[in-house]
Amino acid sequence: MAAALTAFKDDLSIDVDATIAHAHWLLGNGCDGVLLFGTTGEGNSLSAAERLDFMDALADSDLPMDKLMMGTGCCSFPETVALTQKSLQIGIDSVLMLPPFYYKSPSEDGLFAHFARVVEDVASAQARFYLYHFPQMSAVPFSHDLIGRLLAAFPGQICGLKDSSGDFENMRAMAEKFPGFDVFAGTERYLLDMLRAGGAGTITATGNVTSRLCGEVYANWQGSDADRLQDKLTEQRLALQNYPAAAGLKELLARESGRDGWRNLRPPFLPLAQDKADQLAADMAAIDFSLPKMAA
């Protein structure tokens, strides 16, 4: 799954049509699913009202809702509940939840109470909740004890976790400790390792441009060619992660599509300076990277 970019107009309002078109393009070029409004989608730069309005427009699109996941985690549980309920209303059952991240070092009991309140207030057996473990960004990790408590309290609803910590041993340990719990690596660098460890796959920011090769690794992970494909995929990921994720990825999409609007980001994110943009393009050319054809 790609953690999809959000397209913005020149006034920095959401470009709904371009964002939906990009999700279509991802699904047509290797992705089994698309996460909307995650970190790379600048979800935390959007108001709850903007996200709700976007979901109204999304409901009228022809995107397959069963292939989408919605980022709904906010610091306040009422906003998380409202966004999750809206997601369910339009047919997107899977939601990704950040922890309440403003207050640092919350107690495990406090975190459990937050997520319990969300699940109970959403009050839907259809909802599939995924936890978002990104301690470098949120400073609020998910311990194995907390995951175990949530699984015990809400079986069948706490369904998995995206681990963007970069700690593969933690990912492997969760896959082993919690059978049936979908562990997604937050980087395609560990896609093959995660699958071999019993994980679900990857939800990755750089999947916005590596999706085609991600799909090849996923389709062939039990085959004799898996390691070669993964090595090539890892090479792409390592080249990309030398640049700010949203800015770098949007630069590549702007160059491929010829659409300058892809370079629009909400502050505090900024587009790449010209020298950095040119270096990124050169770095990717040096490893024979190319994107599938995009619409302008």
Q: Evaluate whether 233 touches 217 at the Cβ level (below 8 Å).
A: yes
Q: What percent of the chain has pLDDT over 70?
A: 99
Q: Mean pLDDT across the chain, nearest whole number?
A: 97
78 pLDDT band, cuts 50/70/90, is: very high
Q: Evaluate whether 237 touches 187 at the Cβ level (below 8 Å).
A: yes
295 pLDDT band, cuts 50/70/90, is: low
Q: Evaluate whether 197 touches 171 at the Cβ level (below 8 Å).
A: yes
Q: Is residue 68 over pLDDT 90?
A: yes
Q: Evaluate whether 266 touches 45 at the Cβ level (below 8 Å).
A: yes
Give per-residue pLDDT as tens, 182-201: 999 999 999 999 999 999 99
293 pLDDT band, cuts 50/70/90, is: confident
Residues in the chain: 296
Q: Is residue 202 over pLDDT 90?
A: yes
Q: Evaluate whether 247 touches 240 at the Cβ level (below 8 Å).
A: no
Q: What's this model's pTM, rounded to 2 decimal places?
A: 0.96
Q: Is residue 62 over pLDDT 90?
A: yes
As a whole number, mean pLDDT of residues 49-59 equals: 98
User: How far is Cα 16 from Cα 24, in angstroms, rounded to an integer?
Assistant: 12
Using omega within 30 degrees of 0 as the cis cutoff, is the peptide bond preceding 268 cis? yes
Give per-residue pLDDT as tens, 117-154: 999 999 999 999 999 999 999 999 999 999 999 999 99
Is domain 2-225 annotated with CATH 3.20.20.70?
yes
**Catalytic center residues:** 39, 102, 132, 162
pLDDT value at position 209? 98
User: How far is Cα 142 from Cα 36, in angstroms, rounded to an integer?
Assistant: 21
Q: Hey, is 51 helix, strand or coil?
A: helix
As a whole number, mean pLDDT of residues 91-114 equals: 97
Q: Is residue 163 over pLDDT 70?
A: yes
Q: How far is CA 166 from the centre of its chain?
A: 14
pLDDT value at position 294? 81
Q: Evaluate whether 253 touches 276 at the Cβ level (below 8 Å).
A: no
pLDDT value at position 296? 59
As a whole number, mean pLDDT of residues 104-118 equals: 97
